[in-house]
Amino acid sequence: MRVMVTGAAGMLGRQVVQENIRRGNEVCGLSRQEFDISNREQVTTIIKKVKPEIVFNCAAYTNVDGAEEEKEKAFLVNGLGPRYLALACREQQSVLVHISTDYIFDGRADQPYQIYDKPCPINIYGSSKLFGEASVREIGGKFFIVRTSWLFGKGGKNFVNTILNLAQEKEELKVVNDQRGSPTYTIDLARALVDLATSKVYGTYHITNTGETTWYEFAKKIISAAGLKTLVNPCKTADFPRPAPRPAYSVLDPFPLRQVLGRDLPTWEDAVERYVKQKYSGGY
C-alpha cells in the first residue's frame, strides 16, 4: 500500500512514517520544507504524481502562543492546507487522515467531550484547527478527522522532555494543576492512526492514551518514572500567564474508537513509563 505523510519530520509525522514502514507499506514522507500544504499547486502536483492510497496529514502550525501574533500563518497551514489536501485526495480517490486537536473546545465541560459536541475554541490555534476540520468535511471524499491531545514522543519538543530537563537543573518545580487532559504517546497514536486508516469507517474520532490527568500530576509521574527526586508543586494557570488562553478541561471521549478498532489505547501512565524507559536506555 502506498501512503503519503505530510509533516514527516515532526514528532508525530516521523512516527507515522516508521509505523507504516514497519507494516511494509510504501511510504512517501515529506517534511515542511519539501511540501508546503498551503501551496495549492504543489499539493495538487505532488499528490497526482505520488498517487497515494492514504494521506496522513501531520503538517501543522503548532505554536499555540505564537499563533496569537501569526494568525494568518496559522490559518494558512492549519486551515487552508487541509482544504487543498482534501481537494487533491478527492480527485485521486485517496483516503485523507487529518490530525486535529482538543483545543477546538473551550474547556468549560465537566465530562469528556464527545466527537459531536459543539466546538468553541478560545485561542487562534484552536480556531485555525477548527477551520481545517470544517474544510475537510466540506470538501468530502473519504476522510478521517482525528483529534488528539498533549502529545509527547521522540524527535520533538514536548512536556515530558521539558520536565526531565528542568528536573536536572532544579530541586523544585511549579506546574499548573487546574488544566485537565489526556497525554498521548506518538507511538500509540501512530499505531491507532494506521489501523483506523484502513478500517473504512470514515468520520471523526478522538484518539488519546486512556485516562486523564493535570499537568501537575503528569509531571509527578514523569519524575517518578525517571527515578528522580525533584519536588513538584502545584500552582494555578493564573500564576503563569501565557499569550494564548488554554482550555481548563479538554479530555476527549474516545467513543466509538474501541468499537471500530477493537481495542483501547494503553493508559497514559503506561505510555509515560515506556517513553522514559526508552529515553534513559539510550533509545531516544
Catalytic residue numbers? Answer: 125
- Specify the DSSP class assigned to residue 237: G
Interaxial angle between packed helices 11-22 and 186-197, expressed in degrees from 0 to 180 and rounded to the nearest 10: 60
Alpha-carbon gap, residue 148 to 103, rounded angstroms: 9
List, in sequence order, the alpha helices (H) in 140-211: 159-169, 186-197
Count of CB atoms within 10 A of residue 193's CB?
A: 25
CA nearest to 248, candidates 99, 102, 127: 102
* 160: nearest Cα among 93, 222, 87, 91: 222
Q: 107-143 burial, b for 16+ CB within 10 Å, e for fewer?
A: bebeebbebeeebebbbbbbbbbbbbbebbbebebbb
C-beta neighbour count of 236 within 10 angstroms:
11
Q: For residue 275, give Cα distances in angstroms to 55, 63, 125, 158.
A: 27, 23, 27, 12
Residue 126's contacts (CB-CB under 8 Å, 6 or more residues apart) are 101, 103, 104, 105, 247
In contact, 252 and 116? CB cutoff 8 Å: no
Q: Which three cell numbers stand for residue 20?
A: 507504516
Contacts of 20 (CB under 8 A, 6+ apart): 3, 5, 27, 194
Measured CA to CA in angstroms, residue 274 lies from 19, 171, 192, 222 at distances of 17, 24, 17, 11
